[in-house]
Amino acid sequence: MAKLSQDDLLAQFEEMTLIELSEFVKAFEEKFDVTAAAAVAAAPVGPAAPAEAEAEQDEFDVVLTGAGDKKIQVIKVVRELTSLGLKEAKDLVDGAPKPVLEKVAKDAAEKAAESLKGAGASVEVK
């Protein structure tokens, strides 16, 4: 039997249905005692692994934990920071603790927290 080139083999596989190709792979695995599993990259081991785990956070959530004494001022600030209407902003303030902003940059989160604290609210930046 003449050897088939790689191009000839690929041409033959091209004509096969997926089921036929799947059966061929199973037969090939059994005949040569191999598996056609995809290679998996090994996870880094040693000192490099903790350094990657401690990557600096770049997205922050601003969470309103309490409205304080000046609830109306806090509602106004929440409306300025978000695109919420009056009712939605009031519901957010009444339902504290709730996130006001989610996944924002550090400087935006800090400015929002300062604005809310200035209005008398209790705020956490996570």
Specify the pTM: 0.52
Chain centroid to CA 119: 32
Mean pLDDT of the chain: 81
Q: With H, G, I as helix, E, B as strand and everything else as coil, classify residue 53.
A: helix
Question: Residues 44-62: what's their mean pLDDT?
Answer: 64
CB 55 within 8 Å of CB 112: no
Q: How confident is the model at residue 121, as a pLDDT? A: 86
pLDDT band (50, 70, 90) for residue 14: confident
Question: Residues 30-34: what's their mean pLDDT?
Answer: 87
Question: Residues 78-105: what's their mean pLDDT?
Answer: 86
Phi, psi torsion values for 60, nearest 5 degrees: -130, 155
